[in-house]
Amino acid sequence: MDIRLNGTLSGMVAPPPSKSQAHRLLICAALGTKPCSIVCSALNDDLVATANSLNALGANIKYANGKFTVVPIQLVKGATLNCSESGSTLRFLLSIAAVLGADATFVGAGKLPQRPNGALCDTLAEHGITFKKHSDNAELPLTCNGVLQGGIYKLPGNISSQYLTGLLFALPLAKEDSVIEVVGGLTSASYISMTLDALQKANISVSREGNIFRIPGNQKYSLPDALVVEGDWSSAAFWIVAGVVGKHPITITGMNRNSLQGDRKIINHLRKMGAFIEEQENALVAMPSQLFGAELDCMDTPDLLPILSVAAAAANGDTLFTNVGRLRFKESDRLVAMQTTLASFGVASQVGEDTFTVHGGTALSAGDVDGFGDHRIAMSAAILSTLCNDVSTIKGAECVAKSYPCFYDDFTSLGGVKY
């Protein structure tokens, strides 16, 4: 689907619920001993992939009236789990299926079959799991067999925090106690904090000493009867940037200012660039601001790079993003995708080995851009379009459904025009 956009944004918007928290709560609920409900005001493709995959393992998860009802897994062996394009679904459930002895086959779509999982599979193979790849040219389909054993685990911390999250979910169910040591720096550490918070809600015990995690075996998951998923900072970031680079304030409601979500650091990043953002009791107000270039470390906030690149394009001077190399392995190569997107609007940028530099301060011209099958690229392009006088076209715009299906509805509710 191609869409044409322009317009000036202003007003009030409530972003969707946190995809990251919802993934984690659904998994804890499906691994539990009793049914529960999870209030989640909106769905997206990734959450559907997780719910469907858990159902394939033997859970009974239904969604209606803004709420999941979850009946825990009664194991179905030999199932096929379709993770669609969700890296979280795949990497979390690989370890979980292994510890359950599910003998499951994992399939996926889009770029997911090419995304790396070798370090995780190697670790699982050292603890009782065998794998069969069904293609010489892709990581998926992949079948795992055996029952995961506890013990001593070592994981590289510089590839994906999703590997560690999957093991943290799985190993409490192993018969033996376990220790996980993360070797090297831990990227996206805030996502691990979210995982530990979900485990705590489910009465699972994990102790942490720096990058060492100690996990008793033979535990049982038990969430409260009802939970509520908080607002998503990754989605809110698009409207916060739209407010500071635009002509009118934008008010963002429904956000937890004390959230463990790493992407709440969008406020800190933008303030470093000179943004004025007012934090009220129940809302944020992003005010039009004169931005300037800065150096921004994305070690813990990789998903913010596309939309922060929009702020960098509107800023005076150069913005240097560091610790961004792993963005090559997302739904797209986000460094190349964002470089191409910016160029379509007349903005120059450079891709380094682990850096990305945006040269801001030039007038933007409307462009025809590709969404690259990547929700965050397409949404960033939509915000870039508001900085142009003419109409911009986004090709493959439907990819926003991965995380934010109603994004364009919210765009038009704020005064944007969709043709």
199-232 pLDDT tens trace:
999 999 999 999 999 999 999 999 999 999 999 9
Which amino acid, one-letter code, is at 108? Answer: G
Q: Are residues 30 and 124 in the same domain?
A: yes
Q: Are residues 159 and 11 in the same domain?
A: no
**Could you count the other beta carbons within 10 Å of the beta carbon of residue 365?**
14
Q: Are residues 58 and 112 in the same domain?
A: yes
Any domain includes 92: yes
Any domain includes 184: yes
Confidence at residue 113, expressed as pLDDT on a 0 to 100 scale: 94
Place of tokens 């129940």: 282
Confidence at residue 245, expressed as pLDDT on a 0 to 100 scale: 98
User: From residue 293, how far is each of 26, 126, 273, 321, 352 by CA, in Å?
Assistant: 40, 47, 6, 10, 17
Q: Are residues 10 and 62 in the same domain?
A: no
Q: Are residues 210 and 336 in the same domain?
A: no
β-pair partners for 182: 155
Confidence at residue 158, expressed as pLDDT on a 0 to 100 scale: 78
Q: Are residues 126 and 202 in the same domain?
A: yes
Q: Give the model confidence (pLDDT) of 347-383 as tens digits.
A: 999 999 999 999 999 889 998 999 999 999 999 999 9
Indicate the SS3 state at residue 270. helix
Confidence at residue 136, expressed as pLDDT on a 0 to 100 scale: 86
Any domain includes 225: no
Confidence at residue 159, expressed as pLDDT on a 0 to 100 scale: 77
β-pair partners for 351: 356
Structure tokens at 175: 């018969």
Structure tokens at 197: 């918070």
Q: Are residues 49 and 179 in the same domain?
A: yes
Any domain includes 226: no
Any domain includes 116: yes
* Per-residue burial over 272-283, b = 16 or more CB atoms within 10 Å of its CB, e = otherwise: ebbbebeeeeee
Place of tokens 């079948």: 143
Q: Are residues 38 and 11 in the same domain?
A: no
DSSP symbol at 110 = T
Confidence at residue 152, expressed as pLDDT on a 0 to 100 scale: 97
Beta strands 105-107 and 80-82, pairing class: parallel
Q: Are residues 112 and 196 in the same domain?
A: yes
Q: Is there a catalytic annotation at residue 303?
A: yes
Q: Which of 178, 199, 219 is the last residue of a domain?
A: 219
Confidence at residue 220, expressed as pLDDT on a 0 to 100 scale: 98
Q: Which of 232, 300, 303, 370 is catalytic?
A: 303
Helical axes 19-30 vs 87-100, angle rounded to 10°: 20
- What is the DSSP secondary-structure string of 287-353? EP---B--EEE-SS-GGGHHHHHHHHHHSBEEEEEES-GGGGGSSS-HHHHHHHHHHHTT-EEEE-S
Domains held by the chain: number: 2
Residue pLDDT tens, the chain, 419 long: 999 999 999 999 999 999 999 999 999 999 999 999 999 999 999 999 999 999 999 999 999 999 999 999 999 999 999 999 999 999 999 999 999 999 999 999 999 999 889 899 999 999 999 999 998 889 999 999 999 999 999 998 877 899 999 999 999 999 999 999 999 878 888 999 999 999 999 999 999 999 999 999 999 999 999 999 999 999 999 999 999 999 999 999 999 989 999 999 999 999 999 999 999 888 999 999 999 999 999 999 999 999 999 999 999 999 999 999 989 989 999 999 999 999 999 999 999 999 999 999 988 999 899 999 999 999 999 999 999 999 999 999 999 999 999 999 999 999 999 99
Domain range for 372: 3-16+231-418
Query: Can you tell me the distance from the alpha carbon of 394 to that of 144, in angstroms, rounded to the nearest whole number?
Result: 39
HSE (CB half, 13 Å, CA atoms) of 177? 8
Query: Can you tell me the distance from the alpha carbon of 187 to that of 166, in angstroms, rounded to the nearest whole number?
Result: 15
Q: Is 19 exposed, middle or buried (0-12, 13-18, 19+ CB in 10 A)?
A: buried
**Could you count the other beta carbons within 10 Å of the beta carbon of residue 256?**
13
* Chain centre to alpha carbon of residue 210: 24
Q: Are residues 373 and 319 in the same domain?
A: yes
Any domain includes 224: no
Query: Can you tell me the distance from the alpha carbon of 277 to that of 324, in angstroms, rounded to the nearest whole number?
Result: 25
Instruction: Read off the CATH number of the domain in which 39 is found.
Output: 3.65.10.10
